[in-house]
Every structure is written in structure tokens, then in C-alpha cells.
Amino acid sequence: MNRTLLLKVLARTRGGRLVIVEGDTRLELGETSGITVEVRVLDRRAYGMVLRNGSTGMADSYAAGMWECDDLVGLVRLAARNMAPLDELRRRFAPVLIPGQRIGALVRRSTPARARRDIAAHYDLSNELFALFLDETMMYSCGLFERPGMTLREAQEAKLDRICRKLGLNPGDHVLEIGTGWGGFAIHAATHYGCRVTTTTISEAQRVEAQARVDAAGLSDRITILDRDYRELTGRWHKMVSIEMIEAVGWRNLPVYLRKCGELLADDGLFCLQAITIDDRAYEVEKGTRSFANTRIFPGGFVPAQTPLLDLTARNTAMRAVHLEEIGPHYATTLRRWAENFGAVELAELERMGFDERFQRMWRFYLAYMEAGFAERRIGDIHLMLAGPAFRGESALLARAAGGQPLSAAVEAAGDEVEQQRRAA
């Protein structure tokens, strides 16, 4: 029954062709133009898992080895191209679903203690694991591939430099970073722009590794790493940055997060927020959705949308949006590079680290799932520049910085001077 029902749904596939192989049986569904993907079913229980649980069932059945595919990214892209009917159905039922979502949010309140547990579930897996597929900067966010042939490291450094230039960093600045990661931004900003950075993370594994990297770079006098939840931060800062941390906040706490950022930002300050985003039209429905991503990979995670994010900022803070840049297409390339690196790791190496074949397959699916989402523009990534109410800078300067140009010749000269001083030392 499950097989029959799912095949009826798949028979309406558009935007490509899906080939399903079971033993000697071969079914070709969809259109001859577009993506062609072949799935080899090894265990029929997979049909029921996908039918009942959507993306989660798809991931779980793949991780269990119930099916193979010649192009995982292509398969998820094909699925994304056929989501319109489901999206419309979910929008129609939104008035029924949303009250239940709000009750669920009350039950699963995002306290600092719960936030630490959720963060640990992903980011504390193993520093060694992440080092297998990230580049030397250990940046776990979208890079910027500004020209053909760029390496992953070059793309990440281009992203970090663009953020620094948008903020107009100079040696006199003291920057607050919310979400340290493994220290990539802090090290880049202190090294190339001479500023001081105070950065905070609630991931113990990341904090330990970030501190070791800061010490190795000889920057412990310029970089301070805190063990604090964003709600526990104090002070007023003229320059702030947060790179893909907001996704861990949860939709219910977005006003809390934005209010705190507004309190921390000086009246004439600048805040660069890099955030993964979903389509505005999916925002309300996604609040209560238990998807593969927020149950198997990022517990408690939620991706905001641009319009609600701007609206919540206006309603909860004195900050103003002065510049927004969409960089989502670069994320598909970033994820492809990560997947290539991860795919080159031998299973024996992962097993030595305590990760079995099921974990390997789940992460292969995760990286493909995310790449496909960005490739099909189901999700995006933005640099949102927020300014305090007394900020009088020109947004045109920010636009020039986005194109890879310095905010001012003085900032660039100061950066060169700092670099020369460091080399001389």
C-alpha cells in the first residue's frame, strides 16, 4: 500500500525524471527534460518511511542503507522542484497548524541550558570531524567564490574580508562577535585589521579549539573568548558581528535575540548579521515543522525569513537596516566543496573517531540536502547590515565594500600598517 501511494505521488514528478530500480523492475517517472536521477531500492520499507515522515523518513531510510542513488543532490533538487503543491497545502492549513506550533514552543522553551544542549548535540560532535571537511579557517558558513578557481579557504577568507570591510574595521575598534565557531572571524579580523575582538560561544569543544588557535596565532592579547549565552552579554559596542548563529535561536526567541543585539549596539554602531533564510511565504508554516534538519542535524534549529526578520527588528529594536546582500548561490558551491572533502574520508577513519557507517550516510545526505536547497533557492543566505539610530554613514559605502572595495583608503592603509608591524615583530 505504501509503495503504491508513494509511486502515485512520484508519477506527477515535474522538472526532471526519476528512475526507480527494484531488482529487475525499472520505473521511469516524470519528464525527459531536466534532472535525471536513478534510485535503487534495496528495502521496500523505505516507501513507508518516506510517505509518513517526508524528509526525515527519506534521510533515515538512506542512512539505514535501504536505498542508493547515483546523484543525491539531484534527487533533493528534483524533490524541491515538486514542493509547490505541498507548500500550497501547508499554507491552506496554516490557521489550524499555527496554534499547535505556539503550544509546542511553550513546551520546548529555549532556555540557556537547553540552548547549550542543542548546540552540543551538533557542534561538540568532534573538532577532528569538522576539520576533515572544512578548510584551514574552520569556517562553517557560506564562503564567497568571487572568481573561478577559488579554493575553499580563499572563498572563506573573501567572505571574512567582506564582513570586515562592511564594518569598516580599523585598529581602534573593539568588536563583539556572537557565535565564535572555531575562531575564524576573530583571528582574521585581529590579524588583518588590527582590531580587538571579544567573542562568545556556548560550545565547549569549539571554545577549547578556538582558544588554542588564537594562542597559536599569537593573538591572545587581542582576542577574548567568553563562555556566555547571548542573553548574558553586557556592554555597548560600536561594531558587532554574528555569522550564521541566529539559526540556533529558534523562532520564538527571535525578538529576544534582536532586542539583546539592539541593547548591545551603540547608538552610532554597525552590526553585520549573516543568516540563512527561507522564503517569506514558508515562514509561518515552518515554525512548527519537524524536519530532517531540525531533528537529525540541528536540534532546536530554525531558519528565519527576510521580511519577518526585518519586521521583528523594527518592532523590537531601534536598529535600522542599511544594507542587505544575498549570497545564497555561493552556499551551494561551499557545500559541494564540503561534501567532496567529506566523501574523500575513509569509513575506517570515521570509525576510529567513533562514527559508524550510518552516521557517514546521514551526513552525506545532510550535505546533499543543504546543497540542493541553496541550488534550487528554497533557502538563501544574507549579509544584513543593521545600524544604531545615530548611525549616519552612507549605505553606498557599504555597497562598495560588498563589491570587494575597502570602506575607505584610510582603513586599508591602517590594515597594511598593522600587518607590517606584526611581521616586523
Q: In the chain, where does the domain assigned CATH 3.40.50.150 lie?
A: 112-424
How far apart are the C-alpha atoms of 287 and 84, rounded to whole Å?
18
pLDDT digits (tens, 9 = 90+) for 76-123: 999 999 986 555 544 554 555 455 555 554 555 667 877 777 776 677
* Continuous segment of H or E residues that includes residue 413: helix 409-424
Contact 65, 361 (CB under 8 A): yes
Instruction: Label the pairing between strands 223-226 and 265-278.
Output: unpaired
How far apart are the C-alpha atoms of 240 and 271, rounded to whole Å?
5
Which pLDDT does position 122 carry in this prediction?
78
Q: What is the CATH number of domain 112-424?
A: 3.40.50.150
pLDDT digits (tens, 9 = 90+) for 370-425: 999 999 999 999 999 999 999 988 654 555 555 544 443 433 443 344 344 444 44
pLDDT at 265 over 80: yes
pTM assigned to the model: 0.88
Q: Report residue 257 as a C-alpha cell.
A: 535575540
Contact 75, 48 (CB under 8 A): no
